[in-house]
Amino acid sequence: MASSTNVGESAQGRIGGVDSPNPALVRPRRGRRSWHSGIGTIPFLVYLGLFLVVPAISVVVTAFQNGAGTFTVSNFIEAVHGVYLKSFINSIQLSFAAGVVATVVGVLAALAVCASSNRIVKALVSSGSAVFANTGGVPLAFSFIATVGNFGVITKLLTDAGFNPYDHGFSLYSVLGLTIVYQYFLIPLMVLIMIPPIEALRKEWVDASSSLGATRAQFWRWVGIPLLAPPILAAFIVLFTDAFAAYATAEALTSGTIALVPIQRGALISGNVLAGQTNLGEALGAGMIAIVLVAGFLYAYVQRKASKWLR
């Protein structure tokens, strides 16, 4: 997504440069001092600080305290043991698997859409993706239960045909099931993210390669794949974090039977707290932030690589 913005920005910059050779003309008239120019964003930043940064910091700070408020790391030690360690492993495995599947399918679908000359198909897929990417949560879980749950419509059809998937190791209420359900919002998200970079590819580099006489295989080997790899990787990280933080779908689908970090956290908030675990929830929260931050830094790094390519 951001890589496409990049293309747009640089293109606009060029146009702007041609249109207004004298930059002084487009300078804002009032106040050129630098501190002045940030004033308009203060309400926004204050709001964000109050309702996002303060809560997040308080979680991290509390994670390092025991019930009496003194410094300790015992919350973290407990958070990497037993069911909590298991929940981190489950969550990471689930998000990774779901992310990989959605990335592969999403890229193929995005390529298919971009290659299609049929305007209706294009409009249908891109608007459909925008709609489905915003699906999720509880309704999604229930509609999958109705489909391939214990008594779902498809399960019934298959059982009548002599193949009950639940007798062959399949369960919707498992990590595998969650991986499938998550595809419902991850694939459209991937398509949405990948369409702009692929379209950008079409416009600028395809012409250049073909006028230099490249074949398709050569184009993909030397231009297409190197150019698309950073946005694909970046998109994968977005999908990973999206799947990692998903709480509602997992909670509604498994009712907490699979240990996943967000669900353990939820249970701790809701008051299922044992004595001596006062700030364990905060430690799990801090752990989640840490994992997503790592993903975020990777994303930024890959994006920087990508924008270098696209400049």
Partner 1 sequence: MVAVTTNVGRNGTEPGAANILKLGRAFRYGILGLVGVFFIIPILASARFSFLGNNNTITISAYTQLFSTQQFWSTLFLSVKIGLGTVLLTLALLIPTVIWIHLRIPKLKRVFESISLLPLVIPSVVVTLGVTTSFKGLPNIIMGTPVILALEYVILALPYSYRTFDSAVQAIDLKTLVDAGQSLGAGWSKLLRFVVLPNLRSGLLGAAILAFAFCLGEFAVASLLSFTTFPVFLVQVGQVAASQAVALSLIALLFTWMPLAVIIIIFGQRNASSKKRAVSLATTIAQEETTGIA
Residues 91-120 that bind partner 1 (CB under 8 A): 105, 107-109, 111-116
259-281: buried (b, 16+ CB within 10 Å) or exposed (e) per residue?
bbbbbbbbbbeeeeeeeebbbbb
Q: How far is CA 174 from CA 184, 214, 235, 260, in A?
A: 16, 47, 25, 11
Q: Which is nearer to partner 1, 108 or 175 (CB)?
A: 108
- 99, 136, 177, 231: which one binds partner 1 (CB under 8 A): 136
Question: What span, in angstroms and rounded, lies between the C-alpha atoms of 304 and 298?
Answer: 10
Provide the mask over 160-189, with x wherever binding to partner 1 is found by CB under 8 A and - wherever it is not.
Answer: -----------------------xx--xx-
**Piece of the chain touching partner 1 by CB under 8 A; list 78-86, 93-101, 171-179, 287-295:** 287-295
What are the tokens at 136?
């999720």
Of the two residues 71 and 151, which places its CB atom closer to partner 1 in the complex?
Answer: 151
Smaller CB separation from partner 1, 15 or 80? 15
* Residue 81 beta carbon to partner 1: minimum distance, rounded to whole angstroms: 20
- Tokens linked to 230: 């950073």
Q: How far is the CB of 182 from partner 1 (least distance, A)?
A: 12
Q: Does 1 bind partner 1 (CB under 8 A)?
A: yes
CA distance 182 to 63: 30
> CA–CA separation, 199 vs 179, rounded Å?
29
How far is Cα 63 from Cα 57, in angstroms, rounded to an integer?
A: 10
Question: What residues contact 300, with CB distance under 8 A and at least 6 apart?
Answer: none
**Shortest distance in whole angstroms from residue 285 CB to partner 1:** 4
Site for partner 1 in 220-279 (CB under 8 A): 220-221, 225, 228, 232, 238, 241-242, 244-245, 247-248, 251-252, 262, 265-266, 269-270
CB 68 to partner 1: min, Å: 15
Residues 38-67 that bind partner 1 (CB under 8 A): 38, 40-41, 43-45, 47-48, 51-52, 54-59, 62
| List of residues 6+ apart from 111 with CB closer than 8 A | 198
